């Protein structure tokens, strides 16, 4: 769907759902993702611009953000959601719903248990997000088993899946021939992505959703859905991810560090073999370009993703 706001296809927003906090997963901890998005967008169109921010603490800045979203100012919004009952006010989500209704592509990444719980405030065209993204507090009949059992991390509760160590990788199977995944990978038919010891759980809940990638738990062997794409006529696409650790600086370069509440021992797998990040970089670039193309932006030499 082409956004109603002319020029929106060359504008993107990388947004955290929390205020700036150096000891949390604030947007500064996604600086490598910001660089990847900028490179991909500007490589497709030199006029591409990216705004990177935490949720504003000041009223005027919040009002401007809400106004820009509601007007469809951005062609794509990358929403990192580490909040736990400290997320944006409801007006933000109303504006986000308006943005997607106008054609903005939304990329969502949260994590285990109830992180990103502010997303439960979504409604309208984004109401399905509250079901596709699963939360401990709202999942009826949630199994009591917990793959990640560590007395030192009592807050890490189910739903949570162990796909590996921070700083290590997992091998995800391509579940769809969708145009978004039409790029060369390290292993044909698969993507190598950063692993995490307690990913969140996402699940398809409507006919408009399709699973793009899945992995597995190294603890139980059960399937772990990694990426779900929700495309419906008349609105922007919504791309769900099982964890924001596919994109966090720490998971790409462990030496960049973490908030002090993270105590899981990291792996040196990526540090020793940085080429393992090739698929992650290609995936981010593909998401950026796909969003721009779906927004009706076709620079010279570009093609419609539906025909690729």
Cα gap 171→85, rounded to integer Å: 32
Q: What is the mean pLDDT of residues 111-123?
A: 97
Instruction: Give all domains of the chain, ordered by start, each with its CATH number.
Output: 8-139+156-307 (3.40.50.880)
The alpha carbon dihedral of 56, 60, 66, 70 has a sign of negative
Apex 300 CA angle, 239 and 279, nearest 5: 40
Is the pLDDT reported for residue 193 higher than 50? yes
Cα gap 10→21, rounded to integer Å: 29
141: pLDDT confidence band, cut at 50, 70 and 90?
confident
Position 298 scores a pLDDT of 52
Position 6 scores a pLDDT of 58
Cα gap 264→24, rounded to integer Å: 15
Cα gap 95→153, rounded to integer Å: 35
Residues facing 229 on adjacent strands: 210, 239
* Closest by Cα among 129, 134, 288, 285 to 209: 129
Position 151 scores a pLDDT of 82
Is the pLDDT reported for residue 303 higher than 60? no
176 near 231, Cβ under 8 Å?
Answer: no
pTM over 0.75, yes/no: yes
Q: Give tens-digit pLDDT for 259-289.
A: 999 999 999 999 999 999 999 999 999 999 9
Position 2 scores a pLDDT of 62
Cα gap 54→108, rounded to integer Å: 15
Q: What is the mean pLDDT of residues 77-81?
A: 98
Position 306 scores a pLDDT of 37
Q: Where are the alpha helices (DSSP H) in 48-153?
A: 59-70, 90-101, 129-132
Of 28-37, 91-100, 111-120, 291-300, where does mean pLDDT reach its minimum?
291-300
């Amino acid at each position: 769907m082409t956004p109603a706001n002319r020029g929106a296809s060359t504008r993107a927003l990388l947004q955290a759902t929390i205020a700036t906090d150096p000891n949390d997963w604030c947007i500064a901890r996604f600086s490598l993702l910001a660089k990847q998005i900028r490179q991909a967008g500007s490589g497709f169109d030199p006029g591409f611009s990216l705004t990177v921010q935490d949720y504003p603490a000041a009223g005027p800045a919040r009002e401007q953000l809400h106004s820009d979203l509601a007007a469809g100012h951005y062609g794509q919004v990358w929403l990192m959601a580490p909040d736990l009952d400290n997320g944006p006010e409801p007006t933000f989500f109303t504006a986000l719903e308006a943005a997607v209704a106008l054609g903005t592509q939304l990329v969502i990444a949260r994590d285990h248990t109830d992180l990103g719980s502010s997303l439960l405030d979504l409604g309208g065209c984004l109401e399905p997000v509250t079901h596709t993204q699963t939360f401990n507090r709202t999942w009826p009949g949630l199994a009591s088993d917990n793959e990640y059992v560590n007395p030192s991390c009592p807050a890490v509760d189910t739903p949570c899946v162990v796909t590996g160590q921070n700083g290590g990788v997992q091998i995800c199977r391509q579940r769809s021939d969708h145009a978004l995944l039409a790029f060369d990978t390290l292993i044909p038919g698969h993507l190598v992505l950063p692993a995490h010891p307690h990913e969140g759980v996402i699940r398809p809940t409507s006919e408009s959703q399709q699973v793009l990638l899945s992995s597995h738990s190294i603890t139980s062997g059960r399937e772990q859905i990694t990426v779900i794409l929700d495309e419906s006529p008349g609105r922007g696409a919504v791309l769900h991810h099982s964890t924001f650790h596919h994109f966090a600086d720490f998971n790409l370069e462990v030496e960049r560090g973490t908030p002090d509440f993270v105590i899981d021992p990291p792996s040196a797998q990526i540090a020793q073999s940085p080429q393992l990040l090739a698929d992650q970089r290609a995936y981010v670039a593909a998401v950026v370009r796909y969003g721009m193309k779906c927004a009706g932006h076709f620079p010279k030499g570009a093609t419609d993703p539906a025909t690729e």
